[in-house]
Chains A and B, each alone.
Chain A
Amino acid sequence: MTDTPTSGTLTIVNDLGLHARAAAKLVGLANKFDADVYLEREGREVNAKSILGVLMLACGKGSEIGLRTEGPEAAEAYAAIAKLIEEGFGEL
């Protein structure tokens, strides 16, 4: 095993935050991995493979969110999703 992270805290940087399109992108990406993916904000954790769950976090620009992955492809899932969030869902 490597020491690739499978959990950490990230900041939402794009202007609209985790709105529908960005959420759809994130959920679509999460579903590609054989891993459980969770997002957490202000003590509330949701399944990142559920678009409604992600939308309910209502993460605006500047929100700090926790990302946690588990399972066979946890590391890959973490890396890919962290990259998507850090790059502002391609909206920057």
Chain B
Amino acid sequence: MTTEDREGRDVAEVRPRHRLEGIAASPGIGIGPAYIVDRGRVQVPRYSIERGDVREEIGRFREALRATQEQLEAIKSRLPHGEHRQILKAQQMMLRDPDLTGDVEARIREDLINAEWAMMTVARDVERMLSEAADEVFRERSSDVAHLSNRVLLNLLGKTDDEIDPPAGSVVVAFDLSPADTAALARADVTGLVTEVGGRTSHSAIMARSLEIPAVVGVEDVTEYVRTNDMVVVDGTHGHVVIRPTRDEIEHWQEVRRRYDAFEDEVQRDHALPATTLDGVHVVLRANAALDEEIASASFHGADGIGLYRTEYVFMGRDAPPTEEEHYRRAKAILRRMAPHPVTFRTFDLGADKVAAYVRGRGAGENPALGVRSLRLALRERHLFVAQLKGLLRAALHGPLRIMLPFVSGLEELEAALEVLDEAKSELAREGMAHATDVPVGIMVEVPAAALAADRLAPEVDFFSIGTNDLIQYTLAIDRENDDVGYLYEPLHPAILRQLRMVAEAGARANVPVSLCGEMAADPRYTWVIVGLGIHELSMHPSAIPVVKNIVRQSTLAEMEALAAEALAARSGAEAERRVLEVMQARFPEHLEHGGVDGLPRPGGPVPVRARSGDDGAGEAGQSSETGGYGAM
């Protein structure tokens, strides 16, 4: 393991097994007591049932088992091979275990008791027996049974999202956070986030950046090392996690935090000035947002409006879809807060990893990323789409609102969506509701098909916004939630750069403004390349705006275009990356250091070996041998 940090200081005094490495996901230093996300026990009701209701009660139990089985399958499919996948597999087996399900059904039948109570009592018995084992390996399995029974209980009770509630100032440590969990983080004032799974563009990471919470993701086995209230240091700029630091270490990290904050203050000072290059070209910098907190952050960081407002979070973690009235009120409130700047509302992008209970499982297919998601789902669940569009059209009377359609792959799909928009307008007209009729409508260019056919789509839209996260994922065929393929994530791959240029050119020819709203926009390494390719509008998480603005204000368009041309001429993504890094590192060393880019997988580098750095090995050897091996089943 390396025992030097970036400045070459020796940090060997760090007790090795307490220092873990992960992917730097959100810059900054967080120091605080750990809050472990461990879904506690649910309140279990107990009531008697009639003999005639036994069949129905057992049916209800089996339905909950089926739902649980599906959820485990969905979670498992997102995980790389390894220990946690094995645990899920064993849990799935437990769900089919006659010792468990047979006993629960017998209790329902014989004791005439509700399924929840039967499930809980049987699971407790099993947990108790397992926890009495002499060997720790078996005692640990009792917590598997506990988690499993909790999940079944939640399904029986019809609860889908149980909220987390971390105290202010804590570092949240979790195996994984659902998008609903990360939304809950917004309401708590936490100082850091560490997760075992997820890559830099996973939703946990994106949300952490949005909320300006220092975060490290993909930290293997961290939940095994940390206990509640252990002090934890999160270096979200470089991907370090220190557990139970010594007093000296805490002082060291406090100093690092102070330097980071000083740099932030410096770039923040110019936040209200325009993002204009030295040769007078204005670059529009907008914010990506999904939560109320981010609206405030957007203004604070000097955004020229919201370039991407994600509306899907309004749909999640609730039992019924939002109404037209709710869409209207929310949009109106956001427009008022951002006035006089424009706000671009992206219609709901549900499906894949973001699901709502009332649309769950419909048409997702084996591979939800390629199934009925986003606009495809909206066109299918037309009533949800119409309600949203009507609400937005009404709100547009209160400020410069723009509508953005996600995941468009071709002309007919776009036309179908525009038809629904017309339908929403005529419904409003029939109902005598005041609404705007001239709302600009644009599309996300995130499916490679849309990028390659941008010239065909341009005449039909008012603006393009390139979503590089999905564009990279689909072009390079890498699952962004799978950290085992993170090394293939190459934003400067020739296939990506060419698409960016094609969209920029198609937009320029049709006089359609082009923006870029993926994670790339926030990465100071790529500012020159993006602007140099002719994309003069960037939308990013609010906290990144000052750094990017600072770079723009110190650069000329000519030098940005020269670097973009060099990147385009490179033979590979790795080659382009090396050259771009070389230039940007020389010119903006501080921006790159504090801008949170160090933890990125190195494009073109070797396939990373997933080793726990700093592990002293004692007592862990058995665990690390837990890979693969299910093929025989």
Contacts and interface: CB of A to CB of B under 8 A. Distances in A.
Interface stretch (B138-146, B183-191, B287-295, B577-585): B138-146
Contact of B629 (A29, A47, A56, A90): A90
B123 to A, nearest CB: 10
Interface residues of B, number: 28
B144 A20 contact: yes
A60 interface: yes
A21 B626 contact: yes
Contacts of A16: 137, 622
Given A17-B137, A20-B87, A52 B622 contact: no
Given A19-B138, A20-B87, A58-B133, A52 B97 contact: yes
Nearest to A51: B93
Contacts of A28: 93, 632-633
A49 B137 CA distance: 20
Interface string B114-142: 00000000000010011001110110010
Contacts of B126: 52, 56
A37 interface: no
B138 A55 contact: yes
Contacts of B339: none
Contacts of B625: 91
Given A17-B135, A27-B93, A53 B633 contact: no
Prevailing SS type, chain A contact patch: helix
A52 B138 contact: no
A60 B135 contact: yes
B134 to A, nearest CB: 7
B630 A20 contact: no
B99 A52 contact: yes
Nearest to B631: A90
A23 interface: yes
Contacts of A91: 625, 629
Contacts of B100: 50, 52
Contacts of A51: 90, 93-94, 97
Nearest to B127: A52
Given A17-B135, A25-B629, A28-B632, A55 B98 contact: no
Interface in A47-92: 47, 49-53, 55-56, 58, 60, 84, 89-91
Contacts of A27: 93
Contacts of B15: none
Contacts of A58: 130, 133-135, 138
Contact of B90 (A24, A47, A89): A24
Q: With a 10 A CB-CB cut-off, give which of B86, B89, B97, B144 has the most chain A CB atoms.
A: B97
A34 interface: no
A8 to B, nearest CB: 21
Contacts of B622: 15-16
A54 B626 CA distance: 19
Nearest to A28: B633
Contacts of B138: 17, 19, 55, 58
A21 B135 contact: no
Nearest to B83: A21
Contact of A53 (B86, B87, B99, B630): B99
A13 to B, nearest CB: 14
Contacts of B97: 50-53
A62 to B, nearest CB: 11
A25 B570 CA distance: 49
A29 B99 contact: no
A28 B630 CA distance: 9
A89 B630 CA distance: 10
B633 to A, nearest CB: 4
Interface in A29-43: 29
Contacts of B630: 21, 24-25
Contacts of B632: 25, 28-29, 84, 90
Contacts of A15: 622
Contacts of A60: 134-135, 137
Q: In the complex, which of the residues A19, A25, A52 has the most CB atoms of chain B within 10 Å of its own CB atom?
A: A52
A17 B98 CA distance: 23
Given A20-B87, A55-B130, A25 B98 contact: no
A89 B633 CA distance: 11
A58 B629 CA distance: 21
Contact of B141 (A20, A47, A49, A50): A20
A17 B138 CA distance: 9
Scoring B87, B625, B630, B633 by chain A CB atoms within 10 A of each residue's CB, the highest score goes to: B633
Contacts of A19: 137-138, 141
A79 to B, nearest CB: 15
Contact of B94 (A21, A25, A49, A52): A52
Given A21-B626, A23-B90, A24-B630, 9 more contacts: A16-B137, A17-B135, A20-B87, A24-B93, A50-B99, A50-B100, A52-B130, A58-B130, A60-B134
28 contacts: A16-B137, A17-B138, A19-B137, A19-B141, A20-B87, A20-B141, A20-B144, A21-B86, A21-B626, A24-B90, A24-B633, A25-B629, A25-B630, A25-B632, A29-B633, A47-B98, A47-B99, A49-B98, A50-B97, A50-B98, A50-B100, A52-B94, A52-B99, A56-B126, A56-B133, A58-B135, A60-B135, A91-B629
Interface of A: 15-17, 19-21, 23-25, 27-29, 47, 49-53, 55-56, 58, 60, 84, 89-91
Which 10 pairs between the two chains have the least Cβ-Cβ distance?
A: A28-B633, A58-B133, A50-B99, A58-B138, A20-B90, A51-B93, A19-B137, A52-B99, A60-B135, A24-B90
